[in-house]
Amino acid sequence: AQSVTQLGSHVSVSEGALVLLRCNYSSSVPPYLFWYVQYPNQGLQLLLKYTSAATLVKGINGFEAEFKKSETSFHLTKPSAHMSDAAEYFCAVSPFGNEKLTFGTGTRLTIIP
Amino acid sequence: EAQVTQNPRYLITVTGKKLTVTCSQNMNHEYMSWYRQDPGLGLRQIYYSMNVEVTDKGDVPEGYKVSRKEKRNFPLILESPSPNQTSLYFCASSDRVVSGANVLTFGAGSRLTVL
């Protein structure tokens, strides 16, 4: 069985500061990993995904995530926060060859002007 | 425009009154799924469908039913709603990629309140 742990249900950063959202996973087989973002009153949309091609994955809106097998982590970063980044972010894991996707509990990101 | 459409977007109902939340996608996706989102719990899968007439339970299927008679539609049925089913519901779909790295397209959500 797979699982995802997102550390910090709420994260606040100043505009222009580094964004770091943490995600640790557990999977008995090589995983696929995803970050989804949910803007207020909207559904989720994909930010980026890891499929074993490269450990550093670049996504939309300047976000990127690095897969670290030794740490079982897939943290999401952005060098400089923008007000429009305020949203809830979900990490998700899917085992290879299985469509079942397990989501973390989410991290709400607030940007301080 | 490629999209997943859910209806209704908002609904207030009473305990025991059967209701159906519809979900339709126009992308010819094989895989469809229902999630519920609750504060502090993230998204939990209710049911999913790999193709027409193929459905399976997710993590929290109790109190829900689904059907997949057509590829584009995947309705969620609450036969006898209870207050603990008050939640935000999302339908999602994707191509069935054999490797499993499916990217889900989500609907805008349906907020259900059961009194």
Cβ within 8 Å of residue A52, ≥6 positions away: A30, A32
CB contact under 8 A, A43 and B102: no
CB contact under 8 A, B35 and A96: no
The reported pLDDT for the residue numbered A52 is 77
Mean predicted confidence (pLDDT) in B44-57: 93
Average pLDDT score, chain A = 91
* DSSP state at residue A60: G
Rg (CA), chain B: 13
- Could you report the per-residue pLDDT of B55-105, keeping only the tens digit for each? 999 999 999 999 999 999 999 999 999 999 999 999 999 887 665 567 889
The reported pLDDT for the residue numbered A53 is 74
Burial of B50 (0-12, 13-18, 19+ CB in 10 A): middle
CB-nearest to B107 from A32, A41, A43 is: A43
The reported pLDDT for the residue numbered B84 is 96
